[in-house]
Amino acid sequence: MTMGGDGGSLIPIAMGHAPAPNTLLRQAYDMSRVLAVTSEIYPLIKTGGLADVTGALPLALNAAGVETITLVPGYPAVLQGLKNPGEVWHFPDMFGGHAYVIRGTAASLDLLVLDAPHLFNRPGNPYNGPDGREWHDNGIRFAALGAAGAAIGNGLIPGLSFDIVHAHDWQSAMAPVYLNYHHGPRPGTVLTIHNLAFQGRFAASLFPRLGLPGSAFGFDGLEYHHDVSFLKGGLCFADRLTTVSPTYAREITTEEYGMGLDGLMRYRAASLTGIVNGIDDAVWNPATDELIPHKFSRGRIGQRAGNKTALQRRLGLVESQSALVIGVVSRLTSQKGLDMLLENLPGLIADGVQLALLGSGERELEFSFIEAAARNPGAIGCVMGYNEQLAHLIQAGSDALLVPSRFEPCGLTQLCALRYGSIPVVSRVGGLADTVIDANEAALTAGVATGIQFSPATPEALEDGLRRLLILWRNQPVWQRMQRNAMNADVSWRNPAAHYATLYNSILAERS
């Protein structure tokens, strides 16, 4: 491993050089700029909501006058999807192999792709091989992403200077760590926590390979129960921390939701902000959505009925407008609480309710839902796997969308549901609590309800929430009012992007 060519740098990669000028996409910039660093980005590579956020936020920031360029690993899907590619840097030794930085675009995103074939040219998803097991060298792979983010964020590439490096989750949390140990001027750093449950924890034997001073492996650094934790490092060293809803920002300072890091979250509470996510309202627009058979809008809500029929047909459900169809689009893991739905299925079926579920995840949960569908043909329809088209059809054709999470940093499917006029039924945690207005007496009287919240996240409270849902369904004037409210909710990125812009500015003001 080679130390950086720039004397003060502790970034453990050979800094290399730009290619001959004719291949360098030089541009003259004078406005302030953000380098986002992420391990996934929609529409190129996605395993969850992180990709939706990193794919949409830069566009909203650009619209708000904050230029954002995103660094993402060069997995095969990313390199294949990249338009107008041009090499802008060559690292001769990045943790044991050559790496190139390719600048290009995809779906209006301005991208820098870290093309390190020895680390990222692999089949499977970003973290696991085709056998579903994590790659053995994920520590090195995402240390490389962080190191490249730190170097590029610090102005490595001619013509590309940055004021802020914005890292997302543990996979890019090493960027603020490396920048913290860089001597001399550096950009401001932000780390966004999308899910505190994923911490990037590796054996202590990784530490010497990271090229950091010994002091970085301490209680106030990367060390976590004798292991290395990338997330903890980022949480210690980023100038500012954000998470994806105000309620989750409070929750993670408590033992119940802090995943072992609540002490650190309390310590850094003054630097922690909760900014609720938006959704890309061009991708999720029922009036123009190419993935649904019947387009609709607030004014033409009657058109939804055709989508309900299409959904029922697609999932083998009895075609009936009067049956309440509850949709689910989710990873099937304990976070998402769908085991609690299993317990409630007999009651729902008895009430004539239908379930349309799209999910993938833990084998046992998948199996339980498939079995329930086999036992209740016409009432329960399940598809296991990842299917973008069906996700849109469920949002457009279901009457209600269930998100019974045990914890939920933000949650995006309830936002899509609001926009598509499917009434969200959510547990009162994290971003679910912040984005759905419960149909309690006060909200119904004021005519502002958009959905149902239940609490605590238990099968009994869920049952109660579902009972309330059914009562509302049977009162169609009230239901339709809720649908209109839901579709009126602002779930766009406009406000959140303005919050991020203010946050960036406050960091710059502090540092100037």
Closest approach of Cβ 429 to ligand GLC, in Å? 10
Q: Which is nearer to ligand GLC, 49 or 286 (CB)?
A: 49
SS3 4: coil
Q: How far apart are CA 416 and CA 114, in angstroms?
A: 31
Kindly state the tokens that stand for 94: 């990045």
CB of 433 to ligand ADP, least distance (A): 14
If residue 383 lies in a helix (H) or strand (E), which one and from where to where? Answer: strand 380-384
Residues 247-306 that bind ligand GLC (CB under 6 A): 277
Does 422 interact with ligand GLC (rule: CB under 6 A)? no
- Least spacing, CB of residue 104 vs ligand GLC, in Å: 24
Piece of 32-40, 175-183, 337-345, 406-414 that binds ligand GLC (CB under 6 A): 406-414
Do 340 and 459 touch, CB atoms closer than 8 A? yes
Cα distance between residue 261 and residue 263, in whole Å = 5
The residue with its CB nearest to ligand ADP is 49
Residue 411 and residue 433 in contact, taking contact as beta carbons nearer than 8 Å: no
Q: Which does 359 bind (CB under 5 to 8 A by kind): ligand ADP, ligand GLC, none?
A: ligand ADP
The single residue among 409, 421, 465, 496 that binds ligand GLC, judged by CB under 6 A, is: 409
87 vs 434, beta carbon nearer ligand ADP: 434
Phi, psi of 274 (to 5 degrees): -105, 120
Cis peptide bond prior to 409, omega within 30° of 0: no
Number of residues that bind ligand GLC (CB under 6 A): 14
Is 403 near ligand GLC (CB under 6 A)?
A: no
**Min. distance of Cβ 361 from ligand ADP in angstroms?**
8
Report the chain's terminal Cα–Cα distance, integer Å: 34
One of 60, 101, 143, 244 touching ligand GLC (CB under 6 A): 244
Q: Which residues pair with 330 in a beta bridge?
A: 359
Give all strands of the β-sheet with 240-243 in edge-to-edge order: 83-91, 99-106, 109-115, 67-73, 33-37, 164-168, 188-193, 240-243, 272-274
221 binds, among ligand ADP, ligand GLC, none (CB under 5 to 8 A by kind): none
Q: What are the residues binding ligand ADP (CB under 6 A)?
A: 48-49, 52, 329-331, 358-360, 386-388, 391, 410-413
Quick check: bond before 377 cis, omega within 30? no
**Positions that interact with ligand GLC (CB under 6 A):** 48-50, 53, 194-195, 244, 277, 408-412, 431
